[in-house]
Amino acid sequence: MGRKTPLPPLVRGTSQQGLDVGHGVLTEQVGRAIRAWRGVGVRHNALRATALVVGLSILLIILGWVCGGITGIKLGIVIVALVNGLIYLFGDTMALRAMHARPVSEIEQPELYRIVRELATEARQPMPRLYLSPTKAPNAFTTGWNRRRAALCCTTGLLSLLNERELRGVIAHELTHLRKGDTIVGTVAAMLALSITSLTALSLLLPLADSDDEDGHDLLQGLLFLVVGPIAAAVIRAAVGRAQEYAADEAAARLTGDPIGLANALHRIEVVSRVHPLPVHRGLLTSAHLMVAHPFAGQREGRIFAVHPPTRERIRRLHALAQRWNCE
């Protein structure tokens, strides 16, 4: 898996195999959770994604009517059709492209394949396609319209940072998002937000005193982003809530039987992300909510797109869960 970065673990106490909890109890808990979520969560999130697309489409057409009457309506319909077409065709690969991810084979990453296969089997869901992103920023995300077409991407920084126990927690978290259909809403929100922030490219079409003045275009793009950035962030916040991250954390802990493994992973990712953050650009900003942890820790430009709960609170809840299980 690569050389591990020597960071001190957040806590001690539980073994590599997880908490000392009865296997039968955990298996039954996982089974109940899977039966409760199967189908219901996916349908709910599919409806949320549809409502998001329809709502913004209607809003855009109304805006076209207000600004340009019948001509504006026609233009709005064209834009809506174009955006929806892009979502359908490229939505499930947008984040992979932004991260320069490539498919990875089992020969290249046998340990990663083993861990994902074990957890997917335990969760009773298809194994996703695996991708690797060549960046030192430690993170992971899932994307895809359904569980059978899903993809899970890990960065090289994540694989070199975490030990197996911690990596299992991260992968279980991402598999939970796939099982519940969270990636459907997240993917749609990412594409809509990217479409909105792409309006900053209009600065290239506007005449300036000096058409070769790159500084002028950069300044105008920055000003346009100040306008459309909050709108794009609002779209993401409307689709993605902190509650679903807390729920995925707990479900991942139940799947692995080890809340502390995920807690330690979140701690390490938070620390190293401040040293090796992702570069700030539209494709990554609008995909940040898909990551297991906010990838722009400490960066002012990324704060507006920060929808993850505070890492400290996520860790606290996982510790509380571990203590509760130890008492059973």
Flag whether 1 is in a domain: no
Q: What is the pLDDT of residue 45?
A: 62
Q: Pick from 304, 283, 273, 286: which is nearest to 186 by CA?
A: 286
Flag whether 15 is in a domain: no
Q: Which residues pair with 129 in a beta bridge?
A: 151
pTM across the whole model: 0.75
Q: What is the pLDDT tens value at each position of the chain, 328 positions in all?
A: 544 544 444 444 444 444 444 444 444 454 454 444 444 556 666 666 676 667 777 777 777 787 777 887 777 788 778 877 777 777 678 889 989 999 999 999 999 999 999 999 999 999 999 999 999 999 999 998 777 788 999 999 999 999 999 999 999 999 999 888 887 777 777 777 776 666 655 544 444 444 455 555 555 555 555 555 566 656 665 566 778 899 999 999 999 999 999 999 999 999 999 899 888 776 787 788 889 998 887 676 667 767 888 999 999 999 999 999 874 4
Q: Which two tokens stand for residue 105?
A: 């084979």
Q: What is the pLDDT of residue 33?
A: 47
Q: What is the pLDDT of residue 286?
A: 75
Flag whether 128 is in a domain: yes
Domain that holds residue 283: 23-326
| Burial letters 128-141, b for 16+ CB under 10 A, else e | bebbbbebbbbbbb
Annotation marks residue 118 as catalytic: no
**Crossing angle for the helix pair 23-37 and 110-123, to the nearest 10 degrees:** 80
Q: Domain total for the chain?
A: 1
Flag whether 90 is in a domain: yes
Flag whether 43 is in a domain: yes
Flag whether 9 is in a domain: no
At 79, give phi and psi (nearest 5°): -65, -40
Flag whether 40 is in a domain: yes
DSSP 66-103: HHHHHHHHHHHHHHHHHHHHHHHHHTTTHHHHHTT-EE
Question: Among residues 166, 174, 245, 250, which one is catalytic?
Answer: 174
Q: What is the pLDDT of residue 11?
A: 47
293, 222 Cβ separation under 8 angstroms: no
Flag whether 197 is in a domain: yes
